[in-house]
Homo-oligomer: A and B are copies of this chain.
Amino acid sequence: MTAEILTIGDELIIGQVVNTNQAYIAEQLNLINIRVARMTSVGDVMDVILEAFRTAWSAHDVVIVTGGLGPTHDDITKKAVCAFFDSDLVSNDAVRRHIQELWKPRNMPWTPSSEEQTMVPRKAELVENPVGTAAGFLFRDGAKRFIVLPGVPYEMKEMIDRSVIPHLAPLAGGMAIRHRTLRTTGIAESMLAERLGDIDTLLQGGSLAFLPAPTGVRLRITVLDRDPETAEQRVREIEERIRARAEKFIYGIEREELEDVIGRILSERHLTIAVAESCTGGMILHKLTNVSGSSAYVERGVVAYSNRSKTELLGVPDELIRVHGAVSGEVAQAMAAGIRRVAGTDIGLSTTGIAGPTGGTEEKPVGLVWVGYADAAASISVKMQFGGSRGIIKERASQAALELVRRRILSIAVDLP
């Protein structure tokens, strides 16, 4: 069973917004064994939309369309769908009640655009939108399905999860496909490839993709097999062979972020952490606190940009900053030990560096970052040099600092990055 995902909107075609909907839908379809053959984006132009409908609907079993269902004038997908399936629009009472219900607590007035939102194609089945005003539609032709959803990501996701996937899953069958993603950090793609060695020996019929990002390289294993359990087993075997060669660089699996892994490790060991950030400017704390339940182990954090705040909040001696400079291993170490002491936590973590684009010198260039780590046993600092924009340097430094925590707690040798 194959599918095409068709995303509609001028904002996509002119590059105003990044298309996150495609990836989400593709992933969900893939999990229920529907192979996405193609993903297409077109603008809000009637002829182009209709042509894309024709191409997709003639070639695939499932077509999922998102975008252009909103209340504003530039949204023409509903009209295009009506033209394509030769349907007219009728006002739907269930949709009307739903919108009234949604707006009641917010005291929103009923407007012409609210009225417009109640109109749905007569020939379609409704796909409920529990979190927004734009309803979705479903057309069927035998086992084929043409599904239209709003483009607002969190609305689309709710509808995919609650309605679309449960509807399509029973229709899909055949080969079982199994994936596993191993997330690495602190090693370049080519070095990782060399370390894994001969690829055929490693994979034995499976496949492996290298997915590099500023925070590390993800390795995605894929196995296809008639039998789901065999596919599962072969994925596990490939994973074991990879782990045998690169275990220490693998911090997590699937969608796990390093902060999720650290959260789990800290929780299990009843450890607490406090963070003193300079060049990363709050990003480490932001990442750590993205994890639900992080208030149990993140006692506090400070963003100590100024020298004065390093002294006042963390007790870093003036003298140390004067002699070594704010960007130095000595200061990183003193910041980590300082935040650990004032917060009374098990672990103190710190960063100090030059995120750029200005402020670099010959001796201390943009991208130079010292990470400090303190626990009951010792305080250490590690020097790193990153490339890229301010945002990428902040991201890489944050990831490297978190990886230092993981390695110290798990007693893995530190040779970052």
- Are A303 and B305 in contact, CB atoms less than 8 angstroms apart? no
A40 within 8 A of B: yes
CB < 8 Å neighbour of A10 from B41, B133, B209, B358: B209
A189 within 8 A of B: yes
Interfacial chain B residues near A194, Cβ < 8 Å: 109, 111, 113
A413 within 8 A of B: no
Quick one: which of A209, A213, A222 has the most chain B CB within 10 A? A209
A394 within 8 A of B: yes
- Are A281 and B292 in contact, CB atoms less than 8 angstroms apart? no
Count of residues in A whose CB is under 8 Å from the partner chain: 108
Interfacial chain B residues near A293, Cβ < 8 Å: 358
Give Cα A292–Cα B354 distance, bound, in whole angstroms.
Answer: 11
A344 nearest in chain B by CB position: B308
Mask for A210-244, Cβ within 8 A of B = 1, else 0? 11110000101010000000000000000000000
Q: With contacts A23-B17, A72-B210, A209-B74 known, is A285 near B303, CB below 8 A?
A: yes
Interfacial chain B residues near A24, Cβ < 8 Å: 15
CB < 8 Å neighbour of A111 from B29, B41, B190, B308: B190
CB < 8 Å neighbour of A74 from B114, B208, B301: B208
Give Cα A287–Cα B303 distance, bound, in whole angstroms.
Answer: 12
Stretch from A31-39, A89-97, A260-268, A373-381 that touches the partner: A31-39
A119 within 8 A of B: no
Mask for A69-84, Cβ within 8 A of B = 1, else 0? 0111110000000000
- Are A290 and B71 in contact, CB atoms less than 8 angstroms apart? no
A306 nearest in chain B by CB position: B299
- Are A358 and B292 in contact, CB atoms less than 8 angstroms apart? yes
Q: Give residues of chain A (366-417) contacting chain B, Cβ–Cβ below 8 Å.
A: 387-392, 394
CB distance from A168 to the nearest CB of B (A): 15
A207 within 8 A of B: yes
Interfacial chain B residues near A280, Cβ < 8 Å: 289
Give Cα A224–Cα B57 distance, bound, in whole angstroms.
Answer: 32
Interfacial chain B residues near A26, Cβ < 8 Å: 12-15
Give Cα A379–Cα B29 distance, bound, in whole angstroms.
Answer: 51
A40 nearest in chain B by CB position: B40
- Are B300 and A304 in contact, CB atoms less than 8 angstroms apart? yes
Give Cα A292–Cα B74 distance, bound, in whole angstroms.
Answer: 36
CB < 8 Å neighbour of A28 from B15, B294, B356: B15
Give Cα A388–Cα B157 distance, bound, in whole angstroms.
Answer: 12
A24 nearest in chain B by CB position: B15
CB < 8 Å neighbour of A39 from B37, B40, B220, B355: B40
A333 within 8 A of B: no
- Are A300 and B302 in contact, CB atoms less than 8 angstroms apart? yes
Interfacial chain B residues near A22, Cβ < 8 Å: 12, 15, 18-19, 41
Interfacial chain B residues near A20, Cβ < 8 Å: 18
Mask for A90-123, Cβ within 8 A of B = 1, else 0? 0000000000000000001101011000000000
User: Can you list 29 pairs linking A and B with CB atoms under 8 Å apart?
Assistant: A10-B207, A15-B25, A15-B27, A15-B29, A17-B213, A18-B23, A19-B22, A40-B41, A71-B189, A72-B208, A72-B210, A73-B208, A74-B209, A281-B298, A282-B286, A282-B288, A282-B301, A285-B285, A285-B286, A286-B394, A289-B305, A292-B356, A295-B305, A295-B306, A298-B303, A299-B305, A300-B304, A300-B306, A302-B302
